[in-house]
Structure 1
Amino acid sequence: MVKSGPIDLAFVLAEGYKDIPHTFYSGHGAAMVRRQLNKYHIPCALSGIESMEICRNKDLTYIKLKEKNIPIPGYFVFDTHLRFNKIKLLSQIEKIGFPLMIKPAGGGDSIGITPKSVVHNLQELKNRFLCLKKELGPEKLIIEKYLPGREYTVGVLGSKAKKYILPIIAFPKDHGIRYTSTKNKEYKMREKFEIIYRDDERFKRLAQTVINTFDAVGASDAIRIDFMEDESGNPYIIDVNGTPALSLTGSLT
């Protein structure tokens, strides 16, 4: 860095370190990269350290959104280093009810999410819990109410002072669970996606929630927000991505 002269700006999409795999799914990788850049006084694009910690840890995301009365699904956090205690789990599950969605609290890129992430009873929940514990180690999990409706994703550009909401992408109603394997193929089926523009009532309905979410997580430059509808068509935020894919095959583009 010193030999090549000063660096004006680092455009960073990295979510962790390849030689430290757990940084990708612990939720701390993106912030670690930015701390390293700060050490060398290199400014970087996209959101800062604190915002990345919030966006890459879904439990922190949900806390921030709930504080601002932004709709999120009913959920609770479960640590995989704890024993699978049916009695304690049932007391939590009774508050939101089956079916449930179980996913890692940290990281991104749909790590740990498959069609089996939707569980309908305690045995399925236990099986998925054990699978994630084996795959990811002692990481926190989000167990939330599964929402069976349509999924939407929307990109936001800007800053706290001024924001621009991109057209909303609505996935087909029968699209199913979106995870790494299906996302990698989505660019081939874009003609099936519905693009919702600013003059659409659905765009207007989601716009203020999108702006409030951008501010709630302290974002800057660009983020992507994912919504899922319940059986009555009410939208809830299920993810806020601080490092949205900007490639030709990414959902933001």
Structure 2
Amino acid sequence: MRIGITFNLKDEISPASVLNSEYIEEFDKTETIDAICDVLQKNGYETVRLGSGIEIAEKIKKEKVNFVFNIAEGYGGRNRESYVPSVLEMLDVPYSGSDPLTLGLTLDKIETKKVAFHAGIPTPRYKVVRSMEDLPAVSRLRYPLITKPAWEGSSKGIYNSSRVCDQKALAESARALLEKYPNQPVLVEEYIKGREVTAGVIGNNTPRVLGLMEIVNKSGPDEDFFYSLEVKKDWERLVDYISPPRINRLLDKRIRHYALTAFKEFGCRDIARIDFRISRNGQIFLLEVNPLPGLSPEYADLVIMSRKVGVDYEDLILSILHSAFSRYGFVDRREINAKGGINYETI
């Protein structure tokens, strides 16, 4: 069976062409693609590196790909994560991970909050700033606040300075984001003093929580510590990852409940990482649903969590793959050619 890998590489973007140095934060290193291919090849699959450009349709036909393992982030716009899955669905090619609707919906933090509200999942109070004229409405929120681009991932646009404690700092932060990300609004949330916990969820009709992990300041307890871009870039020096997190059983159970509820409500498939903020009095707030979590064997949160709960990298990748196979009715790799795949004569 031939499995294609769709992805975006940091190395494919020339530094001279990058107007915004954060542009490639979501993209993968070659080592991640190597690691995924190694796991698949070790387990008897042939692999084809497809990338994520418009040429993937021709590559799929030429290489006779039967299935796609998708980790492509896409280029530009709030629907960028949906581009590759949309092409795969047009070609009727089975693939891993969530569908275009889920990927587009969850990348947009504003739309995510709306769906979460209707699902009964708490999120921090917020306002949307589309221009500096919208700032007066933010006065209804309680400081400290935090500013974020509306549809970026990997902490892009979220800096140590994004946590603001007064109107002047808010105006400076909002203006900077509107200038740096001119085609999207700024999300302004009430900052939740407390702890940050992420949940890994895997499966489909009956998903299960892979594990919970707390992200903490290596220097010690700090309720004002959050996962900014600067922190993520210097994670080895600044961050400790604790799994299972140091929380009571009731709080653990409630986080798991919200994680599974979010996974189902947003239509996630196969794998997702869901991030929460826990207030000092134990209230749980959803921050983000990520149905396209990083899979770097070195620094991805989901991979670090998996190792801490006893699931090695190979088992994690195969669990994602087998979960996807189950959606298409593939029992094992020998059946995909009979039950699925592509009629190459009609493309």
Aligned to 1:178, what secondary structure does the other structure show?
coil
How far apart are 1:113 and its partner, in Å? Answer: 0.6
C-alpha separation in 1, matches of 2:135 and 2:142: 11
Residue identity matched to 1:54: L
In the alignment, is residue 115 of structure 1 matched against residue 131 of structure 2?
no
Task: Identify the residue that residue 34 of structure 2 maps to in structure 1.
Answer: none
Greater mean deviation of Cα atoms: 42-51 or 166-175? 166-175
C-alpha distance in 2, partners of 1:130/1:76?
Answer: 15
1:250 aligns with 2:311: no
Listed as ranges, the matches of 1:201-220 within 5 Å are 201-220=250-269
Q: Deviations over 1:201-232 (max 9, x none)?
A: 43212111111111111111111011112232
1:50 aligned to 2:101?
Answer: yes
Cα deviations by residue, 1:46-104 (Å, 9 ceiling, x for unpaired)? 1101100111101111111000111111012221xx3x12xx5333431x211111101
More helix by percentage: 2
The residue aligned with 2:6 is none
Contact 2:178 / 2:185 at 8 angstroms: preserved in 1?
no
Cα distance in structure 2, aligned partners of 1:36 and 1:122: 45
**Unaligned runs of at least 5 residues, structure 1:** 18-22
- The answer to whether the Cα contact below 8 Å between 1:28 and 1:53 also exists between their aligned partners in 2 is yes
Letter aligned with residue 229 of structure 1:
I
SS in 1 for 2:78: coil
The alignment partner of 1:150 has SS state of strand
In the alignment, is the contact (CA less than 8 A) between 1:103 and 1:141 conserved in 2? yes
Deviation of 1:189 after TM superposition, in Å, equals 6.7
Alignment of 1:157-196 (within 5 A): 157-159=202-204, 161-172=205-216, 173-174=221-222, 176-186=225-235, 192-196=240-244
Q: Which structure would you say has the larger RCO, counting Cα contacts within 8 Å and 6 or more residues apart?
A: 1
The question of 1:241 aligning with 2:290 is answered yes
> Residue 196 of structure 1 contacts residue 202 of structure 1 at CA under 8 Å; is this kept in 2?
no
Given that 1:28 and 1:107 are in contact with CA atoms closer than 8 Å, whether structure 2 keeps it comes out as no
CA distance in 1, matches of 2:90, 2:102: 18
SS at match of 1:171: strand
Report deviation, 1:234.
Answer: 1.1
1:228 counterpart letter in structure 2: R
Q: 28-37 or 194-203, which moves further after superposition?
A: 194-203
Q: Is the 8 A contact 1:196 1:203 kept in 2?
A: no
Map 1:1-253 → 2, pairs under 5 A:
1=59, 2-5=61-64, 7-17=65-75, 23=76, 26-79=77-130, 82=131, 84-85=132-133, 88-94=134-140, 96-159=141-204, 161-172=205-216, 173-174=221-222, 176-186=225-235, 192-196=240-244, 200-248=249-297, 249-253=299-303
TM normalised by structure 2 equals: 0.64
1:97–1:145 Cα contact (<8 Å) kept: yes
The CA deviation at 1:247 is 1.7
Larger mean CA deviation between 29-38 and 196-205 belongs to 196-205
SS in 1 for 2:63: coil
Distance across 2 between alignment mates of 1:184 and 1:118 = 18
Kindly indicate whether the alpha-carbon contact (under 8 Å) linking 2:251 and 2:282 is maintained by their aligned counterparts in 1. Answer: no
What is the root-mean-square deviation in Å for CA atoms of aligned residues? 2.1
Q: Percent identity?
A: 25
Whether the 8 Å contact between 1:11 and 1:44 is mirrored in structure 2 is: yes
Structure 2 contact 123–285 (Cα < 8 Å) conserved: yes
How many pairs were matched up? 237
Equivalents in 1 of 2:192, 2:238: separation in Å? Answer: 23
Shift of 1:188: 6.2
- Report the structure number with the largest CA radius of gyration: 2
For residues 25-58 of structure 1, the C-alpha deviation after alignment (integer angstroms, 9 at most, x for no partner) is x321101222222233222211101100111101
Can you give the 5+ residue segments of structure 2 that lack an aligned partner in the other structure? 1-58, 304-347
Deviates more, 1:200-209 or 1:175-184: 175-184
**Scaled by the length of structure 1, what TM-score is found?**
0.86
